[in-house]
Amino acid sequence: MADLASLDAMSLEDAWKLSFDERNQLLDLIVKDGLRNCGKQPERQVGLMSDYFVEDQVRMLKVKASRVRCGGFIPVAPDGEVPDLDPEAQFKVVFENIKGALEKTGSSIDRVTNMKIFMTDMRIWKVMNNVYKNYIKCCPTRAAIGAHSLNKEYTIEVTDIIAWKVEK
């Protein structure tokens, strides 16, 4: 499999000759390489988020990557109902919904580079982070924001999700 150095050395035409699987594997490396921090992170951020993402457009073009932008995800189960008023249960439903939606686009939750998390009670930030860690391993740029209220009895909404996928 090609690495980023060999991808950088390839012409656009040669990169496009790589198989879908090779380009798909390279996209994972590109995303990982682009997520950066400005310096030493506070302990509370380590493993949760990055400070910024460098979108290397040349590399993205070489692997035929497309940006996937998602709207808001709320804790609504497949039957259309809020399954539980417990915040932890709502957080799990939201992250399952994000995971499922990204998989349907041909992307994955491991390719998220940005998201905003709104919660009605910032005192449960630690609970959210514990659920988040089970789903999000790629350390995207993110913000967790307290909101006075959300629609219905939701305790969380995740918006402005950006992920990446490889086109066939």
HEC letters along 127-143: HHHHHHHHHCCCCCEEE
Beta-carbon contacts of residue 114 (< 8 Å; ≥ 6 apart): 53, 140, 141, 142, 160, 161, 162
CB 1 within 8 A of CB 25: yes
CB 2 within 8 A of CB 26: yes
Q: How confident is the model at residue 67 (pLDDT cuts 50, 70, 90)?
A: very high
Q: When comparing pLDDT for 44 and 22, which is higher?
A: 22
Span 28-47, pLDDT tens digits = 999 999 999 998 877 777 77
Span 81-111, pLDDT tens digits = 877 778 999 999 999 999 999 999 999 999 9
Which residues in the chain belong to E strands, given as ranges?
35-36, 52-53, 65-70, 112-119, 141-146, 156-166
Is the domain covering 4-166 a CATH 3.30.1330.40 domain? Answer: yes
3 state SS of 150: coil
Q: What is the pLDDT of residue 45?
A: 73
Domain-by-domain residue ranges, the chain?
Answer: 4-166
Q: What is the pLDDT of residue 33?
A: 97
Q: What is the pLDDT of residue 142?
A: 95
Share above pLDDT 70 across residues of the chain, in percent, rounded to a whole number: 99
The overall average pLDDT reported for the chain is: 93
